[in-house]
Amino acid sequence: MVRPPGSTLTAEQWNDALLLWHYQQMGHTLRPCTVAIGLGTHDLGVAAEAANLYLRSFAPRIVFTGGRNASRPDAFPRGEATHFAEHAIALGVPESAILCEPNARNTGENITFSRDLLMDEGVEVRSVLLVSTPYMERRAYATCRKVWPEVDIVCASTRQGLSAYLVAVGDDRLVVDSMVGDVQRVIEYPKRGFAETQDVPEEVRDAYQRLATDGFNSRLIG
């Protein structure tokens, strides 16, 4: 996989970003689940993938979850869940198949508030199709395993490589900053009780540290 034309990343930064990109992807085999949960983010691709999975009968309903996006506060002024739901409807998902959770501010709240909403709706959830950005699958999985251990989890995201994703988003720094922040959370959040522990290979830790040192650090936690 090669850097896209016009990328601002050096060759070493690109190789490190690839390590983080591949590490975060769980490689789960898709199977039908009780519900799909589209996690709020800066990328409407999550809504598109959730719609795609619904239309292919992998889940009979979708929960979109998230308030205003912290990275791009002007992108979804009425909140991620609302804009994602509208995008899915435009792609052919019936409004009746969608629930919106508009208050979550982080991944733990995305999952907890979605769980509570489904409970209030009387939906007995046995399995969850967790739809996220490609570089967030593992963190989403680790979080869900911690806060909702009773359900089976299948992780899903758009099927594209890092090069195509950078072109689609159009902002190398935003993507790499987010990737670095997500790997840090995979490492640190289990210590805080927010997520289940995941194995993090040394080469991934080294790549994360190099990118953070290079200034890709706007999404790091203190």
Give the pLDDT confidence score for residue 71 in this predicted structure.
Answer: 65
- As a whole number, mean pLDDT of residues 179-201 equals 97
Instruction: Give the HSE-up count for residue 53: Cα atoms under 13 Å, Cβ half-sphere.
Output: 34
Residues near 45 by beta carbon (within 8 Å), at least 6 away in sequence: 133, 157, 158, 168
Give the pLDDT confidence score for residue 6 in this predicted structure.
Answer: 82
- As a whole number, mean pLDDT of residues 26-47 equals 95
pLDDT, tens digit, for every residue of 103-127? 999 999 999 999 999 999 999 999 9
Q: Which of 53, 84, 65 is nearest to 159 (CA)?
A: 53
pLDDT, tens digit, for every residue of 70-81? 666 677 888 899
Supply the mean pLDDT for the chain.
95
pLDDT at residue 69 tops 90? no
| Geometric angle at alpha carbon 161, from 34 and 37, rounded to 5° | 20
Tokens in use for 3? 């850097």
pLDDT at residue 211 tops 90? yes
Q: Which of 151, 65, 46, 79 is nearest to 108 (CA)?
A: 65
pLDDT, tens digit, for every residue of 133-144? 999 999 999 999
Position 25 confidence tier, pLDDT thresholds 50, 70, 90: very high
- As a whole number, mean pLDDT of residues 202-213 equals 98
Give the position of tokens 């758009």: 158
pLDDT at residue 175 tops 70? yes
Position 10 confidence tier, pLDDT thresholds 50, 70, 90: very high
When computed from its CA atoms, the radius of gyration of the chain, rounded to whole angstroms, is: 17
- As a whole number, mean pLDDT of residues 146-166 equals 96
HEC string of 111-180? HHHHHHHHHHCCCCCCEEEEECCHHHHHHHHHHHHHHCCCCEEEEECCCCCHHHHHHHHCCHHHHHHHHH
